[in-house]
């Protein structure tokens, strides 16, 4: 291998590393999130055992600790008040993913949201969730 091609390879590798770092930084701004994976209409869904399955990703902002992800199922009450059934999610801290299996749910129209709880400056806080998805019933 001559000196010129070696220089080209080293330059290329450095450029790739720099680009990789830049991409990683650009892809992950320091903004918290907690959301469903996949498409609405697919996730969450009921399986044939009437279990409600949901999964997604989360991210904490710098300074936030102790993430807690909770599934909130919109519950119809007779007095027209919106209330929620809350189910904690299981977190995978390495992949920053969450998942929930809720057993024995009625498979009628069911709207589901997901919220992120965390600790910041020693206080518990919750990030408001802005999206609800209809749980799909698998035939």
Partner 1 sequence: MLATGVFLMASPRDAAPHNLYEPACRMDGLVGNNPKSVKAGEFEVTGTYVPPTGATNFSVTVMILESIGPGGIGWATHPATMDATKKTWSATVLNQKPDSEHWVGVRCQFILDGNQMDQPAQELRKVRIK
Helix (H, G, I), strand (E, B) or coil at 87: strand
According to CB under 8 A, which one of 10, 18, 76, 86 is a site residue for partner 1? 76
Distance, in Å, from the CA atom of 123 to the CA atom of 121, rounded to the nearest integer, reads 6
Name the residue nearer to partner 1 (CB basis): 59 or 136: 136
Interaction of residue 80 with partner 1, rule CB under 8 A? yes
Interaction of residue 131 with partner 1, rule CB under 8 A? yes
For 74, how many CA atoms within 13 A lie in the half-sphere containing its CB?
15
Touching partner 1, residues 11-70 (CB under 8 A): 35, 39-42
- Cross-strand partners of 136: 45
Interaction of residue 84 with partner 1, rule CB under 8 A? no
Distance, in Å, from the CA atom of 64 to the CA atom of 33, rounded to the nearest integer, reads 12
Name the residue nearer to partner 1 (CB basis): 119 or 132: 132
Shortest CB 94 distance to partner 1, Å: 26
Segment interacting with partner 1, rule: CB under 8 A, options 22-30, 52-60, 84-92, 107-115: 107-115
- Residue labelled with tokens 């027209």: 80
Q: Are 42 and 136 in contact (CB under 8 A)?
A: yes
- For the chain, the first-to-last Cα distance in angstroms comes to 62
Shortest CB 116 distance to partner 1, Å: 13
Residues in contact with partner 1 by CB under 8 A are 35, 39-42, 74, 76-78, 80-82, 108-109, 111, 128-134, 136
């Amino acid at each position: 291998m001559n000196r010129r091609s070696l220089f080209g390879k080293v330059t290329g590798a450095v450029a790739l590393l720099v680009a990789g770092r830049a991409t990683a930084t650009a892809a992950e701004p320091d903004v918290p999130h907690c959301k469903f994976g996949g498409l609405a209409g697919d996730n969450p869904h009921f399986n044939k055992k009437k279990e409600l399955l949901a999964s997604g990703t989360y991210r904490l902002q710098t300074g936030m600790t102790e993430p807690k992800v909770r599934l909130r199922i919109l519950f119809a009450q007779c007095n027209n008040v919106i209330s929620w059934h809350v189910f904690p999610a299981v977190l995978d801290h390495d992949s920053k993913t969450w998942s929930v299996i809720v057993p024995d749910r009625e498979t009628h129209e069911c709207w589901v949201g997901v919220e992120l709880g965390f600790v910041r400056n020693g206080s518990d806080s919750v990030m408001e969730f802005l999206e609800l998805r209809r749980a799909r019933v698998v035939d």
